[in-house]
Amino acid sequence: MVNANGGLNQQRVAICNAVAVASLLNATLVLPRFLYSNVWKDPSQFGDIYQEECFVKTLEDDIEIVKELPPALRFLNIEAIGSQITDADLDKEAKPVDYIRTVLPLLLKNGVVHFLGFGNRLGFDPLPFHLQVKEETYFTEVL
């Protein structure tokens, strides 16, 4: 799961990163949510800005995307079980191996990870090109 913050461009970057991480970790992505910011004062969510069905369909060969967590995970206190990840937990320039070492064990142990305010650059560099292409595919097709 990812909750993106910032303006539209920062949110787009967070979505790209979330797609890259899901692909890298062979994980299912929950449709992104946007954090409300007192600076931007925009309550819009992913479906208000992007075409959810197109997003899912465009990326279906690369990653699985669901609208919400399955019932067994929906009521977990993700922060309490240690599966909430903030920018303080991973360097903005973290490499794929950092996600495999830090995030994958949490995902395997708890069945879920939640990136809160995901501002990392994984979707752009130093990720291998074949993974970078996946998350940009949707934005290229709809823009």
Give the total residue count for the chain: 143
Structural domain of residue 135, as residue ranges?
A: 2-142
Tell me what pLDDT residue 9 has: 83
Tell me what pLDDT residue 143 has: 44
Per the CB < 8 A criterion, the answer to whether 28 and 66 are in contact is: yes
Which amino acid appears at position 99 of this protein?
Y
| pLDDT(141) > 70 | no
Residue whose pair of structure tokens reads 């830090």 in the numeric block: 102
Tell me what pLDDT residue 120 has: 65
Per the structure, the count of domains in the chain is: 1
**Overall pTM surpassing 0.85 (yes/no):** no
